[in-house]
Amino acid sequence: MVRKRALASRSRSSDPLDESPDHILVGVVSIPANAESPWRLIGKRVLMAALALGLAALVVYLDQEGYEGGGGPDGRITAVDAIYYATVSLSTTGYGDIAPITQQARLLNAVIITPLRVVFLILLVGTTLSVLTEQSRQALRIQRWRNLVRNHTVVVGYGTKGRSAVAAMLADDTAPDDIVVVDTDPQALKSAAARGLVTVQGSATRSDVLKLAGVTRAASVVVATNSDDTAVLVTLTARELAPNAKIVATVRESDNKHLLKQSGADSVVVSAETAGRLLGLATITPTVVGMMEDLLTPDEGFSIAERRVEESEVGGSPRHLAELVLGVVRKGQLIKVNEPQADALETGDRLLYIRMVAG
């Protein structure tokens, strides 16, 4: 079993993603970047420009013997001359028939005329350079992500169910970098990117889209599509590409549950039946529904958790533990706490229990 898991992990680490070049994926794959104020970005660029200007002026001033036409004694270059020379050089202005000859005129040229030249250049080519720069950065981020992504979770569909699944994973301390969202709706992907998630635009029924999401290296896949037939097709495609990944899917009708199981889903949640039962309970015992919602909210109140059995607990009964144990997971099978097989804990068992979470 250990060797099999090691081989599966090695397979997920070495499987290549889609062979498309990184620059083609800009606009399809979105890697979130740290948000920064536009004024802060402008300030950085102005500071870098000032440093470049100061360095150029310093070089000219230190090598003043190599220049002529300065305003100092015997035509030597002064500090103002050096600044003036640096400004007209860095702004690619050059020299013409009309040139300032007094110190005051040169200083005004450096302080006023040159910034106007820079503003003109920004208005002329700034937009084009900004687009090209952003595309290049996004391509580099995509390349780095494709090289590093391993053992993540692919969430197919970012509707109501997909958002809730992501919220539960984030509340359970899953890093946003370990979640990739696949959807065809640009607005849904924009909402996912705002939470720091990697997004892939396209239909998850296509194998190339799932490969872009790194499903061949994924540890788990969450299928939260809006229709049952799409969920079946996505599950089939994901199972073919990732035979060792854990696939969890949701369907609206219980009649389609067996189709998801046959397609390769490890676990299936029937959303319509679950919602209907909660609605029925709410009319009779609304406090039960409130407790169920509390258990399903992992960031406060009570929460259902899982942990490994400690050595000191082996051989004992889960009913005698401090936690309220609901079941025992043994060799991948769930044993309810009231069943006879759960009376004696074994090495390697895992406990499903209710824990208290600080709000």
Supply the pLDDT for residue 42.
Answer: 63
Supply the pLDDT for residue 142.
Answer: 74
Q: What angle do CA 281, 287, 288 make, to 5 degrees?
A: 50
- Look at residue 179 and tell me whether its pLDDT is greater than 90: yes
Q: Kindly report the average pLDDT of the chain as a whole number.
A: 77
Q: Is 312 exposed, middle or buried (0-12, 13-18, 19+ CB in 10 A)?
A: exposed
- Look at residue 6 and tell me whether its pLDDT is greater than 50: no
Percentage of the chain surpassing pLDDT 90?
Answer: 22
Q: 14-18, 48-52, 217-221, 224-228: which range is least confident on average?
A: 14-18
Q: Which residues contact 356 (CB under 8 A, 6 or more apart)?
A: 301, 302, 303
Q: What is the pLDDT of residues 93-146, one digit of tens each?
A: 665 433 555 566 567 667 766 676 676 566 556 655 665 566 667 777 777 877
Domain with CATH 1.10.287.70 in the chain: 36-142
Domain with CATH 3.40.50.720 in the chain: 150-272
**CATH fourth-level superfamily of 300-358:** Regulator of K+ conductance, C-terminal domain (3.30.70.1450)
Q: 79-83, 241-245, 250-254: which range is least confident on average?
A: 79-83
Domain with CATH 3.30.70.1450 in the chain: 300-358
Residues 39, 155: contact at Cβ < 8 Å?
A: no
Residues 319, 269: contact at Cβ < 8 Å?
A: no
Fold topology of 150-272: Rossmann fold (3.40.50)
Which of 108, 139, 128 has its CA nearest to residue 27? Answer: 139
Q: Which residue has the higher pLDDT, 16 or 65?
A: 65
Token pair in block for residue 287: 């406090």
Band of pLDDT at residue 282, cut at 50, 70 and 90: confident
Residues 328, 346: contact at Cβ < 8 Å?
A: no
Band of pLDDT at residue 1, cut at 50, 70 and 90: very low
CATH placement of domain 36-142: 1.10.287.70
Q: Which residue has the higher pLDDT, 192 or 72?
A: 192
Q: Distance (Å, rounded) from C-alpha 269 to C-alpha 24? A: 36
E strand or H helix at 334: strand 333-336
Supply the pLDDT for residue 173.
Answer: 80
Over residues 237-251, the mean pLDDT reads: 93
Cα R_g (the chain), whole angstroms: 32
Residues 309, 351: contact at Cβ < 8 Å?
A: yes
- Look at residue 16 and tell me whether its pLDDT is greater than 70: no
Reported pTM? 0.60
Supply the pLDDT for residue 254.
Answer: 83
